[in-house]
Amino acid sequence: MKFVATLLTSLLLAFPAWAEIDIQEIATPGGFDAWLVEEQDIPFVALELRFKGGASLDRDGKRGATNLMMALLEEGAGEMDARAFTERTEELAARFSYNAYDDAVSVSAKFLTENRDEAVALLRETLVNPRFDDDAIERVRAQVESSIRSDLKDPNSIVSAAFDAAAFGDHPYGSSADGTLDSVAGLTRDDLTAAHKGVIRRDNVFIGAAGDISAEELSTLIDDLLGDLPETGWDMPARADYALEGGINVVPFETPQSVALFGHEGIERDDPDFFAAYVMNVILGGGGFESRLMDEVREKRGLTYGVYSYLVPKDYAALYLGRVASANNRIAEAISVIRDEWAKLAEDGATQEELDQAKTYLTGAYPLRFDGNGPIADILVGMQMDGLPTEYVVNRNAKVEAVTLEDVQRVAKRLLRPEDLHFTVVGQPEGLDLPGQ
């Protein structure tokens, strides 16, 4: 079609408003740092807290303790048992959610301006005075165990578990943060209170807020909310060594469609080539319908509903992963096409046109992320955890623009290692060329 070219020229001028997004850096009297985007249009605040370390802080033999602890924070605190707490939350129409991930635990809160103080007092109780009542522990333990049992029969979960275990062994990255049926069954109340003290603390917290609140109000709120947490806790995890080699590993599972997780080591978030790698991944398998993998595997051959690749710069290891799912008798072809694309980009690099397209996509998509108080609070915390300055939101697109074709070719050669590419396949795949067989 003809009318695109004229529009492309104006693209770089499209988003001046985003340079004006005003991030306030706050240092509270109580010693916390927080970032705020004040936005008074809608009378509520989204507050995002993340405590670094996360489920990887689990002690030896206590896998799943951090996850269970986080799930129990909303199951009774201070004077309130689980029912009283939930009823109070509903009365205030506050929304709290607590989650555990590999590198952090998160607390996401939304509360109305009209009852902000009451809502924050409630939230504070969950962080500072969780009860860990026996009946709540048993109820939530049963839910976690149910979830683990489901994962054991879900191809998508099986493939992650198999890949992670082979890649990282005994490091926490090698197993699910939920824990195993055995480890969760063995967790005691003491394990949970220990995890609470070890993980939820002042020296590892990152804070972002967006919405109807001033810097002064937020400052007071944070000191009230977090001031009584312990200063420090468990030591941060060790670096994770990646142990997987290239090849294919099949986990037999009776189901019509095979699911594959593939990858090898990736690139650190603070590597000077990270941006080039990020742009390169959009070309290979990262962006919507436009990537080479989508084009070759789905659009041209109809081998899958979706195939994609993504950089995973974790705190203690960096991966470059991808996923695909195809019928058992077609997965072999999908894998072969993916391998070829991996090698082709490493050898021949990308074209200028592909690079230009990836850039316009990335620079255009970036401002679309800031689409609400919740997402903005998330982004503010993520930036702080990555050690980025507030100006990053203004400069980020310029960094994308600065990536040259030479950068992409260099990083493709460095990052893409077809011989190391490992596929873990769950299903009953046919016709796979398994090394050594």
Partner 1 sequence: MRIAVKGATLALMLATGLAQADTLPTPQDDVTTFALDNGMEVVVIEDHRAPVVVNMVWYKAGSADEPEGASGVAHFLEHLLFKGTDTLDPGEFSRTVARNGGSDNAFTSYDYTAYFQRVAADRLDLMMRMEADRMVNLQLDEEDILTEREVIIEERNQRTENDPGALFGEQRNAALYMNHRYGVPIIGWRHEMVTLDLDDALSYYRKNYAPNNAILVVAGDVKPEDVRSMAEQHFGVLPPNPELTDRARPDEPPQRAERRLTYRDARVAQPYVSRVYLAPSRNHDDQKTAAALVLLSEILGGGQTSKLVRALTFDSQTAVWAGAFYDATRLDESSFGIAVVPSEGVSLQEAEDAMDRVIAEFLAEGVDAAQLDRIKMQLRSQAIYSRDNVERLANRYGQALATGLTVEDVQAWPDILQAVTGEEIVAAARDVFDRNQAVTGWLTTPEEVTQ
Residues from 405 through 434 that contact partner 1 (CB under 8 A): none
Interface with partner 1: number of residues (CB under 8 A)? 88
Among 231, 233, 224, smallest CA distance to 28 is for 224
Calpha distance 205→191 (Å, rounded): 21
In the region spanning residues 24 to 43, those forming contacts with partner 1, defined by CB under 8 A, are 39, 41-43
Structure tokens at 186: 């063995």
Distance set, CA 25 to CA 9, 29, 204 (Å):
35, 13, 17
Q: Which of 370, 382, 388, 399 binds partner 1 (CB under 8 A)?
A: 370
**Taking CB under 8 A as the rule, does residue 7 contact partner 1?**
yes
**Taking CB under 8 A as the rule, does residue 9 contact partner 1?**
no
106: helix, strand or coil? strand
Structure tokens at 411: 């990083």
Burial of 134 (0-12, 13-18, 19+ CB in 10 A): exposed
As beta bridge partners, residue 25 has 35
**Taking CB under 8 A as the rule, does residue 152 contact partner 1?**
yes
Calpha distance 380→105 (Å, rounded): 16
Applying CB under 8 A, the span of 214-222, 300-308, 381-389, 405-413 interacting with partner 1 comes to: 300-308
**Taking CB under 8 A as the rule, does residue 183 contact partner 1?**
no
**Taking CB under 8 A as the rule, does residue 301 contact partner 1?**
yes
Q: Which of 55, 71, 346, 380 binds partner 1 (CB under 8 A)?
A: 71
| For partner 1, the closer CB: 34 or 294 | 294
Applying CB under 8 A, the span of 49-57, 238-246, 353-361, 429-437 interacting with partner 1 comes to: 353-361
| For partner 1, the closer CB: 258 or 409 | 258
**Taking CB under 8 A as the rule, does residue 176 contact partner 1?**
no
| For partner 1, the closer CB: 214 or 232 | 214
Q: Cα torsion at 123, 129, 135, 141 (round to 10°)?
A: 70
One DSSP character per residue, 117-182 reads HHHHHHHHHHHH-B---HHHHHHHHHHHHHHHHHHHT-HHHHHHHHHHHHHHTTSGGGS-TT--HH
Residues near 26 by beta carbon (within 8 Å), at least 6 away in sequence = 33, 34, 35, 36, 215, 218, 219, 222
- Rounded least distance, CB 224 to partner 1, Å: 22
**Taking CB under 8 A as the rule, does residue 153 contact partner 1?**
yes
- DSSP 8-state code for residue 99: E
Distance set, CA 167 to CA 171, 244, 336 (Å):
9, 5, 22
In the region spanning residues 314 to 333, those forming contacts with partner 1, defined by CB under 8 A, are 325-327, 330
| For partner 1, the closer CB: 77 or 362 | 362
- Rounded least distance, CB 147 to partner 1, Å: 5
At residue 294, φ and ψ (nearest 5 deg) are: -60, -40
| 183, amino acid identity | S
| For partner 1, the closer CB: 345 or 377 | 377
Q: Which of 29, 31, 252, 306 binds partner 1 (CB under 8 A)?
A: 306
- Rounded least distance, CB 134 to partner 1, Å: 12
**Taking CB under 8 A as the rule, does residue 302 contact partner 1?**
yes
CB of 230 closer than 8 Å to CB of 202: yes
- Rounded least distance, CB 75 to partner 1, Å: 6
In the region spanning residues 378 to 397, those forming contacts with partner 1, defined by CB under 8 A, are none
Binding mask 80-119 for partner 1 (x = CB under 8 A): --xx--xx--xx-x-x-xx-----------x-x-------
At residue 233, φ and ψ (nearest 5 deg) are: -160, -140
Applying CB under 8 A, the span of 7-15, 54-62, 201-209, 263-271 interacting with partner 1 comes to: 7-15
- Rounded least distance, CB 219 to partner 1, Å: 23
Q: Which of 52, 63, 298, 422 binds partner 1 (CB under 8 A)?
A: 298
Q: Which of 59, 189, 300, 413 binds partner 1 (CB under 8 A)?
A: 300
| 301, amino acid identity | R
Tokens 């398998």 correspond to what residue?
Answer: 285
- Rounded least distance, CB 87 to partner 1, Å: 6
In the region spanning residues 218 to 257, those forming contacts with partner 1, defined by CB under 8 A, are 254-257
| For partner 1, the closer CB: 142 or 236 | 142
Calpha distance 395→374 (Å, rounded): 22
Residues near 316 by beta carbon (within 8 Å), at least 6 away in sequence = 56, 103, 171, 173, 237, 238, 239, 240
CB of 202 closer than 8 Å to CB of 226: yes
**Taking CB under 8 A as the rule, does residue 336 contact partner 1?**
no
